[in-house]
Amino acid sequence: MEVELSVDVLPRLRIAGPRVESPTHVMALGYAGSVDDALRTAIGNLAQWLEQDYQLTPSELAQVMGTAVEIKVAEVADRNAGVMAGIAKARLAPLPRASP
Contact 13, 27 (CB under 8 A): no
pTM for the whole structure: 0.84
pLDDT, tens digit (0-9, with 9 covering 90-100), for 35-73: 999 999 999 999 999 998 899 999 999 999 999 999 999
Best CA proximity match to 73, nearest among 30, 20, 33: 30
Look at residue 34 and tell me whether its pLDDT is greater than 90.
yes
DSSP state of 79: T
* Residue 29 CA neighbour count, 13 Å, CB half: 10
Q: How far is CA 78 from the centre of its chain?
A: 24
Best CA proximity match to 60, nearest among 18, 16, 68: 68
